[in-house]
Structure 1
Amino acid sequence: MYAHVAKAELDTQQRKPGSAESEWKYIIEHHPAMAEGYIGLANHYSDSGRYEETHAQFLAAEEHGATNLRLYHAWSNHEEKIHHLDEAERIAQKAVDLNASYPGLAILRAKLARRHKDFSGALNILEQVDNSAIESQTIKASYLFELGNTLDKLGRYPEAFAAYDEANQAKNNYIGRVYEPDVDSTRFKNWTKFFSKENIQTLSRIPATDDTNRPVPVFIVGFPRSGTSLLEQIIGAHPQAVPAGELRFIGDITNTRAQEITGSQLPYPELLLDEAAPLDAEKLQAMREYYLSSVAALDVTDSNTRRVTDKMPHNALHVALISLLFPESPIIHISRHPFNSCLSAYFSNFKSGHRYTSSLESTAEHYKHMMNMLEHYRETGIKFLEIHYEELVTDQENTTRKILEYVGMPWDDACMQHHKSDRVVKTASYEQVTQKIYTSSLYRYRNYHEAVQPLIPILESTIKKFGYTTD
């Protein structure tokens, strides 16, 4: 059985959902009394937004007596993420009945208490855990991130920052996460040099096909935790739009597909101007088709859909490629005060990637590189709409009208009620964007005044460029 579990997990990592689903089903069929198959298939469905099927797997596990602490923990986590807090607590109690001392369960119960705004209760749950006795660095990091979130809500900011700092160190330990500033800097310099105004003009002469019978992608880019989820929820509340979340398809093209399609031996982006394997309209269309067919396979659109949003933040690095493949697509960059962006990213327990968050200073360095890259793209003539998060939360209607006009959709009052949408956000911002727009986080960085002081030399020019201040 465990060979099939390993295969299913590998298929998931390699983004082979069909194969992964088949493996999990095989495990359930041949080992119906084992919880692993039900957990795996339920998580697979949950990650795909297939929530009714997710629920059915957990119920099937109970029916076959395949329940254990891990299953109830996964089930309760799922209910919390789709905002069924009472149901999450009910399931969590079943896990408590099996093993009340499990640290992962304390983290979940504390999160539920915090989401019910019982911050003191959440802290009490966490303080009952002996942090030093947690052997798993994964669980230790999750515990410390949740402790930071709770202390932040209680206004105990120095203690909160210390918890976040320790959480990131634990995460660095268990995934071997190391940020290499020279490597990051060199990559951005090379891309800036390659995507010169002249090279972009050369590439733009290759004709692109406009598939008017398919929904037009809208690309929302920006630094992680800068408001991309909120912006997508607002656009996605429109009856003619569908929010597709953080799609990896542009990354697939830059990482592997472009090389496969062009036949070039050069890496991206150099392969776009490889004289030995010239890029032409057919190859460009093949890249475009890979993206569009991948979106279609998600099965999130219908005949009424005119726009589908992709809010992968780091698509900001690929704005030139996006404008080449999808000249009809609106691109929106949402920015936030650089201090807030860096703090929010550093305080987030991202599932994978994001090596730059290994320290707050490295987070700021990466932020600076991303913003410089976007400024370079703008200087080459690539057009995209610039939105400040602060404008969106303080003047939602006027800012939303500007956004809808830019993406080519009429006004709809539903965009002002995005928090009532039944569409579930799957990223680290899922707790915030299901609430009404709030302004309490606009100057959050002032709560961490001492912590952001080392960032001033790194970010001062970017802060001024965006019209912010360091105080």
Structure 2
Amino acid sequence: MTIAEVRQSAGLPEVMPAYLKALSYAKNDPELLVRLAHQFERTGEFEKALELVSQVDADSDHIHRARLVESRVLKRDKQMPQAKEILEKLVKELPEQEELRLEAVGDLALIHDREGDFDEAFRMMTSIKQVHLSRCASQKAASDFATQRFAVLADSLTDRDFTRWADELEDRAYEPTPALLTGFPRSGTTLMEQVLDAHPQIVSTEEKDLMAREILPSIHGKLSAEHSLLEVLDQISHATVEKKRKFVWSAFETLSGQSLGGMTHVDKNPAYNLLIPLYLRLFPETKLLIALRDPRDVLLSCYLRYLPLNPVSVTFLTLESTAHRYALDMTAWLKFSEMISNPWVEVRYEDMVGNMEVEARKICQTLGLEWHDDILRYREKLQHKQVTSPTYADVKKPIYKRSLNRWKNYEKHLEPQFETLAPFLEAYGYD
């Protein structure tokens, strides 16, 4: 195996044995050493990760990334003082606006949060947001454009639109059963997805953004941006629907590495509330799983985390913009839920943590699946599985209640946004 082949395969946990075979190449490639160490850290193989970062020369351009990986291993291995020491050193050594430094500040802020130093955690996370705010113009423009178009779509849809699309549905017994797991980022979708993925009749795909990045641009065709999304969805021909469905299933089979025939496929995308109409246009039979969590905890959790700057994360650079985006997405769901006839279920994160089996059984019933005890053993499957969500480390831990009512530690910072969140606190019983 060549270094080029190893680089191409990096990021896919199922080829981890290939990584091991290629370590003789990696010894002379510090970038590859760090990338492999990062993979082992994500899959919980800490000794292998530490062995690899120890091989990165101190004068290498990649030594700081190696140290960041080392700090994450130590943190997950409950060696918090050592992890904190490494992070503090990185923050001092790296240029103020370098992205790697911002990652280190984000990790350090979460350690302060764990230690109960909430003001310092909030101050450090805000410093990251300020840097991103100074250079987010292109991402914000893209986010504002897309969000506005989907907001108009949500306002203009009626139940007749959903009914008309559903009437076009043919017998799909030979295809997988589609399910969309959404709600809002940081509402517990990662936990729910990993629990469901343990069911032998379920295959999940995690945050691949296929609909937004591939399908929507392709069906837009020659229509200009002046045409509404409702017009775009209405003009799709039957042949186009068939073509796009085949493409989607082929892509999901490639991503999952297995045939999906006879299976239920769960597409987990927590920021897809506004894309539900697109889903139901191509897959009118989609079953919907909506993750809920106390909106105040959602607000805090979206803000109190480093995320690379992109058209989704740009929304979370201020508490105000986060609260307004939450209100937009959840208002859309409240409207859609009254207009569609598809099976759907709302699952509160707090209930999932309190009694996972009860909630999982409720989801299985919505999906039309028999209960299977493998769901209760979902963590066994997670041991050597790579989770792509930013919360990959948390989801592999036993279920804990530390994240419940976390917002109370930051109430003075969050309070100005409570009026925006009030309708949803009432609607979902959190008031």
TM-score, length of structure 1 as denominator length: 0.82
CA distance in structure 2 between the aligned counterparts of 1:201 and 1:303, rounded to whole angstroms: 27
Map 1:363-378 onto structure 2 (within 5 A): 363-378=322-337
CA distance in structure 2 between the aligned counterparts of 1:325 and 1:95, rounded to whole angstroms: 49
Pairwise CA distance, 1:237: 0.5
Alignment correspondent of 2:404? 442
Of stretches 193-202 and 453-462 in structure 1, the one that deviates more from structure 2 is 193-202
CA contact (8 A) 1:237 1:414 kept: yes
CA distance in structure 1 between the aligned counterparts of 2:259 and 2:215, rounded to whole angstroms: 28
CA distance in structure 2 between the aligned counterparts of 1:389 and 1:438, rounded to whole angstroms: 11
Q: Does 1:410 align with 2:370?
A: yes
Q: Does 1:319 align with 2:276?
A: yes
Pairwise CA distance, 1:420: 1.5
Pairwise CA distance, 1:333: 0.5
Aligned partner letter, 1:55: Y
Map 1:12-411 onto structure 2 (within 5 A): 37=4, 40-43=7-10, 46=11, 48-52=12-16, 55-56=19-20, 58-62=22-26, 66-68=28-30, 70-95=31-56, 97=58, 102-131=63-92, 133-134=94-95, 137-173=98-134, 175-176=136-137, 179=140, 186-205=148-167, 207-252=168-213, 254-260=215-221, 264-265=223-224, 266=227, 268-273=229-234, 278-302=235-259, 306-351=263-308, 352-354=310-312, 355-383=314-342, 384-411=344-371
Pairwise CA distance, 1:457: 1.9
CA contact (8 A) 1:177 1:358 kept: no
- Structure 2 vs 1, CA of residues 145 and 177 (structure 1 numbering), >3 Å: closer, same or farther? farther
CA distance in structure 1 between the aligned counterparts of 2:355 and 2:332, rounded to whole angstroms: 28
CA contact (8 A) 1:185 1:369 kept: no
Q: How big is each residue's C-alpha offset from its partner over 1:250-305, in whole Å with a ceiling of 9 and x where there is no partner?
A: 21355312124xx54546342123xxxx4332222222222112112224334786
- Aligned residues: CA RMSD: 2.7
CA distance in structure 2 between the aligned counterparts of 1:245 and 1:130, rounded to whole angstroms: 31
Pairwise CA distance, 1:166: 1.1
CA contact (8 A) 2:178 2:265 kept: yes
- Please state whether the residue corresponding to 2:179 is helix, strand or coil: strand
CA distance in structure 2 between the aligned counterparts of 1:385 and 1:365, rounded to whole angstroms: 24
Aligned partner letter, 2:353: V
Aligned partner letter, 2:108: L
Aligned partner letter, 1:191: L
What is the aligned length?
Answer: 423
CA contact (8 A) 1:288 1:325 kept: yes
CA distance in structure 1 between the aligned counterparts of 2:426 and 2:48, rounded to whole angstroms: 47
- Please state whether the residue corresponding to 1:333 is helix, strand or coil: strand
- Please state whether the residue corresponding to 1:219 is helix, strand or coil: strand
- Please state whether the residue corresponding to 1:285 is helix, strand or coil: helix
CA distance in structure 2 between the aligned counterparts of 1:94 and 1:174, rounded to whole angstroms: 35
Runs of 4+ residues deviating >6 angstroms: none
CA distance in structure 2 between the aligned counterparts of 1:132 and 1:401, rounded to whole angstroms: 50
TM-score, length of structure 2 as denominator length: 0.89
CA distance in structure 2 between the aligned counterparts of 1:173 and 1:343, rounded to whole angstroms: 21
- Structure 2 vs 1, CA of residues 109 and 52 (structure 1 numbering), >3 Å: closer, same or farther? closer
CA contact (8 A) 1:38 1:57 kept: no
Identity %: 22
CA contact (8 A) 1:110 1:126 kept: yes
Of stretches 168-177 and 447-456 in structure 1, the one that deviates more from structure 2 is 168-177
Q: How big is each residue's C-alpha offset from its partner over 1:376-424, in whole Å with a ceiling of 9 and x where there is no partner?
A: 1112234421111111110111111111111121111111121121432
CA distance in structure 2 between the aligned counterparts of 1:189 and 1:246, rounded to whole angstroms: 21
Q: How big is each residue's C-alpha offset from its partner over 1:157-202, in whole Å with a ceiling of 9 and x where there is no partner?
A: 1111111111222333455466469757743541123322233333
Aligned partner letter, 2:110: N
Q: How big is each residue's C-alpha offset from its partner over 1:217-251, in whole Å with a ceiling of 9 and x where there is no partner?
A: 22101111211111111110111212221132221
Pairwise CA distance, 1:375: 0.9
Alignment correspondent of 2:389? 427
CA contact (8 A) 1:218 1:309 kept: yes
Q: How big is each residue's C-alpha offset from its partner over 1:289-346, in whole Å with a ceiling of 9 and x where there is no partner?
A: 2211211222433478621211012222121232232233321001111111122222
CA contact (8 A) 2:150 2:229 kept: no
CA distance in structure 2 between the aligned counterparts of 1:49 and 1:416, rounded to whole angstroms: 23
CA contact (8 A) 1:316 1:370 kept: yes
CA distance in structure 2 between the aligned counterparts of 1:305 and 1:149, rounded to whole angstroms: 42
CA contact (8 A) 1:316 1:374 kept: yes
Q: What stretches of structure 2 of length at least 5 have no aligned partner?
A: none
- Please state whether the residue corresponding to 1:331 is helix, strand or coil: strand
CA distance in structure 2 between the aligned counterparts of 1:353 and 1:58, rounded to whole angstroms: 36
Aligned partner letter, 2:15: Y
